[in-house]
Chains A and B, each alone.
Chain A
């Protein structure tokens, strides 16, 4: 098995998948900290599911690669959810529930037209091993753009999640901050979707951050641990998926869950120590 693993490492598709993991996993791990803190877990899930409608619209418009439609639709969803919370006073879960189920319904209706739904199953479970050089470049650009935006907004986003009035008293606008974070989540999820899969993307955002939170003693530790857990699970999941011939995204999630269980045990052990 070891020999075949060493052999597979030399294949181009595997190296591309490994590079993709090294780009996607830290992004999702970093994003997870704020998603967890701002209770936006279900929003990230909603963007993933609503992505089906974006893909459907892109296909309907005759796009060879529906990524642009997918990103555009996800940003629209971010505006719709955040705007309806502000304008109509809807609670977060109600706004997400309304727009997610409508978008999923729209996506399924459009994609299932003429019985073509099966063609899009790669978006449901992800297909990391099929990533091409140009798609990898696209991920690299996303990561490069993400970093400065993240650095610029991180403090005010986290402060706003701790208390809106507190953020306002510091001259920040919680509404703009929430919208900024929602758009950021929407773009990262939309771009990662076809390689990770609609069904598991939420877990890849939440699990590393939740694992890291069990172990960290400050926000800084939390952030870096979340990235480390996400990246470690990603690499382990990639090798695991090759060994067991399983879907990569889902295998990564199982490794991330194992890490989460380990962190719970460690937390318990720490609290029992004299």
Chain B
């Protein structure tokens, strides 16, 4: 198992990559590069190993092979098991993620500014003081995207970000991801079942089945 976090010409590079679940490989022999400015859509049927691959990249599952990734990583999970009764506001989430200054002593002005700027980029500034548990699925995903973008990551991992979002929410989310990639030197790997996501935002599609990469196609 080799991992490198030095500056790279690619945002992500996997060679002979395997993901292990209870000691058994569920993803095998993956060779994959994600370049800066690229949005790679990882598609495939349920159980193909897409989410397992992403979970290994964020350190949730053990893996073997070679992984070169940047030190700065943004991650938007498929769904956050968030207690709707929780008091945490959107601003609180940013403070928890960005600062070690205890939240019970208040939010630092710098963190508040970072939160405002990032939420503005994804069209969610109005949500800053709202409780995260009361937001709709689409609003939550945009907030998580905004959070993943601070500090600016070199690689952004999105795990089925459209799950549980209505059509308007998906539209806004696509727009937000598109804008980020236009303006930043960033690579994006997005796991998706949604053909519209592939069509609207991806620059390349990679298809997986039975834990292996089957094909890769550059999209117009």
On whether the beta carbons of B58 and A168 are closer than 8 Å, the reply is yes
The residues of B that contact A213 with a CB separation of less than 8 Å are 85-87
Tell yes or no: A158 within 8 A of B by CB: yes
B87 CB to nearest chain A CB (Å): 4
The docked-state distance in angstroms from the alpha carbon of A158 to that of B95 is 11
Known contacts A158-B96, A166-B97, A170-B97; is A220 also within 8 Å of B106 by CB? Answer: yes
Contact of A37 among B55, B58, B75, B86 (CB under 8 A): B86
In the bound complex, CA of A64 to CA of B202 (Å): 70
Q: Do most interface residues of chain A lie in helix, strand or loop, or is the interface mixed?
A: helix
Question: Which chain B positions have C-beta within 8 A of A223?
Answer: 103-104
Q: Quick one: which of A169, A220, A224 has the most chain B CB within 10 A?
A: A169
Cβ-defined contact, A165 with B58, below 8 A: yes
Kindly state the separation between the CA atoms of A220 and B91 in the bound complex, as whole angstroms.
Answer: 11
User: Size class of B's contact patch?
Assistant: 35 or more
Using Cβ atoms and an 8 Å threshold, which residues of chain B touch A90? none
Task: For chain A, residues 117 to 151, give those with C-beta under 8 angstroms from any C-beta of chain B.
Answer: 150-151
**Size bracket of the A interface:** 20 to 34
CB-CB contacts below 8 Å: B60-100 with A: 60, 73-75, 77, 80-83, 85-89, 91-93, 95-97, 99-100
Chain B interface residues toward A at CB < 8 A = 55, 58-60, 73-75, 77, 80-83, 85-89, 91-93, 95-97, 99-107, 131, 144, 148, 157
Q: Which 8 A-B pairs have the closest CB atoms?
A: A169-B75, A223-B104, A159-B96, A222-B87, A216-B87, A151-B102, A219-B92, A154-B102
Offer 24 A-B interface pairs, CB within 8 angstroms, sorted by A: A30-B104, A37-B86, A150-B102, A151-B102, A155-B99, A155-B103, A159-B96, A162-B82, A163-B77, A166-B144, A168-B58, A168-B59, A168-B60, A169-B73, A169-B157, A213-B86, A216-B87, A217-B131, A218-B88, A218-B89, A219-B92, A220-B105, A223-B103, A224-B104
